[in-house]
Amino acid sequence: MKRDPSWVKARIGARILIRQQLGRVSTRDARWAHRIAKDGGVTDRLLDQALASLCARATAPDYHDVLRATLASQP
């Protein structure tokens, strides 16, 4: 089964948000974040779904903590 490119990018973006919460963002992550932000196929809802999917793991940070931190950093 072929994966949707927008879903793959959304999961990459969600991983970057989690790394940001953990304080481990690299310059490569920042470049990817800018590319993903400009992509029209990666909607807020798709990114939110990817974040919820990744945070459902036992080792991941709490979904609501990551979401609050992300929304608080918005201008």
Alpha-carbon separation of residue 43 from 13, 47, 57 (angstroms): 11, 6, 23
Mean pLDDT, to the nearest integer, of 47-59? 87
| pLDDT value, residue 29 | 95
Domain count, the chain: 1
Exposed / middle / buried, residue 37 (Cβ in 10 Å: 0-12, 13-18, 19+) = exposed
39 dihedral zone (left: phi>0; alpha: psi -120 to 50; beta)? beta
User: What is the rounded average pLDDT for all residues in the chain?
Assistant: 88
Exposed / middle / buried, residue 62 (Cβ in 10 Å: 0-12, 13-18, 19+) = exposed
Give the predicted TM-score (pTM) of the model.
Answer: 0.83
Mean pLDDT, to the nearest integer, of 21-39? 93
Domain range for 42: 5-72
Is it the case that residue 59 has pLDDT exceeding 80? no
